[in-house]
A = this chain, B = another copy of it.
Amino acid sequence: MSEVYVIGHKSPDTDTVCSAIVYAGLKGYTAARPGELNEETAFVLDYFKVPAPALMENAAGKKLVLVDHNEPAQVVDGGDQAEIVEVVDHHKMNFVCNTPIYIHVEPVGSTATVIAKHYMDQVKGNPTHAGLLLAAVLSDTVIFKSPTTTDEDKAIAAELAKIAGITDIQTFGIDIKKAKASIKGKPIADVIHVDFKDFDFGGKKVGIGQTELVDINEVYDRAGEVTAYLNELKSGKGYEMVVFIGTDIIKEGSELYFAGDAAMMEKAFGKKPEGASMWLPGVMSRKKQVAPPLEKAFTS
């Protein structure tokens, strides 16, 4: 059998990378990543002394297990010429294949939760795997503050923490988040692209980036730069709309910057933007609170 690669989505985050590493380990596959690690993920891998998966820039001709994503737009380049053999995910589904494959998706806070739940017996014997999965749960649920969080995420995180020997989950979560929580001194394009996903909403290409911060003022200070870059991206790359979500994990809300039709933003979020952005209290999750209303606005 040719080699099977477990790979996460473009703009890899901690859940997608840690899930790929652990799932590959559990199944005897090889982990890969479609792009550079962000600072948070680099911190986590360093913490557990685990090497980064090898970079795979093009997957044409390869056998792939997709973790933490399934939509074609988020798959590594060349994915349309790869053979997808499994999908393990926690996102909405937009997936077509020509032959039955193993697909496991659950509406929980992280892909790590799905993996931990079904392989807990094996994870019990591997504190490093448990630690990586715990970091991924904490990262993707924003330390259980995201509305995507379920009771299962919390229960499984507690179990993983015991195995990994991590006594204070909260502190560990904040340490992880701090690792990428400042945008000071970073080029704005890097800030917007570090966690950026393309969507197809009723045939329209929409891009949505997100950054979590411990202080939203870091974004307010650079609002002009953000808006200029979003407009550049929109006109240069054929987007109908580009959105950037600056999430304050302490205040628990997000400032949404956008380039595109302001009326569509109002239709989606029921609030008139002030200029090129709007503050949405309580909004933490692109997946649950930003992408679905935008998709609805574009398709209804």
Contact = CB atoms under 8 A, between A and B. Distances in A.
A92 B101 CA distance: 7
A103 B95 CA distance: 12
Contacts of A90: 100
B295 A100 contact: no
B94 A96 contact: yes
Contacts of A101: 92-93, 105, 107
B92 A93 contact: no
Most B-side CB within 10 Å, residue of A90, A93, A288? A93
A102 B106 contact: yes
Given A93-B95, A95-B93, A95-B95, A102 B105 contact: yes
A107 B102 contact: yes
A172 to B, nearest CB: 25
Contact of A98 (B96, B100, B104, B292): B292
B98 A91 contact: no
Q: How large is the interface on A (under 10, 10 to 19, 20 to 34, 35 or more residues)?
A: 20 to 34
A97 interface: yes
A99 interface: yes
A100 B296 contact: no
A292 B95 contact: no
A107 B99 contact: yes
Contacts of A272: none
B288 A99 contact: yes
Given A93-B100, A98-B292, A99-B288, 20 more contacts: A92-B97, A92-B98, A92-B99, A92-B100, A92-B101, A93-B93, A93-B95, A93-B96, A93-B97, A93-B103, A95-B95, A98-B296, A100-B105, A100-B287, A101-B105, A102-B105, A102-B106, A103-B106, A104-B104, A104-B105
Interface of A: 90-107, 148, 287-288, 292, 295-296
21 contacts: A90-B100, A91-B100, A92-B97, A92-B98, A92-B99, A92-B100, A92-B101, A93-B95, A93-B100, A94-B96, A98-B292, A98-B295, A98-B296, A99-B292, A100-B105, A100-B106, A100-B107, A103-B103, A103-B105, A103-B106, A104-B105
